[in-house]
Amino acid sequence: MHIDHPFHIGSSRRTATTSEAAHLRDLIEQVLFTNPGERVNRPEFGSGLSQLVFAGNGDELATAAQFLVQGALQQHLGDRLQIEAVGVHTEESTLTVTVTYRVRTTGERITDPFSRPL
């Protein structure tokens, strides 16, 4: 079991825990929505995806986001996950990143969507 993110107290009045699959999803979300420089002891951590808010919505944004995400995930989680595909879709004021990955320890293939308003 892993500590759940964001940190909170569970129903047992102890630190909430989560499964391996949910933990990996939490890690991906942290990489996607953390800007480099936000973490004091790991200034290179994150993808910078949030910085694209002012880039303007369109195909160019989706392509730039796809390269940013793919590189950041491989750099920070490459030892745990094999990134197979990253899709970026913009609709109105929402950015949706769909990540398809394989868990290195189990070989399980997972596709997860992550959304944030622009």
pLDDT tens, residue by residue, 66-117: 888 999 999 999 999 999 999 888 777 787 889 999 999 999 999 999 988 7
The structural domain count of the chain equals 1
What CATH number did the domain enclosing 64 receive?
3.10.450.40
pTM: 0.83
pLDDT bin (cut points 50, 70, 90) of residue 48 is confident
Whether 83 contacts 73, CB under 8 Å: yes
Mean pLDDT is lowest, of 36-50, 58-72, 99-113, for 58-72
From the list 96, 109, 102, the residue with the least C-alpha distance to 77 is 102
* pLDDT of 54 above 80: no
Question: Which burial class, exposed, middle or buried, applies to 73 when counting CB atoms under 10 A from its CB (0-12, 13-18, 19+)?
Answer: buried
d(CA 47, CA 68): 6
Range(s) of the domain holding residue 97: 2-117
Overall size of the chain counted in residues: 118
Extract the tokens encoding 42: 């790991």
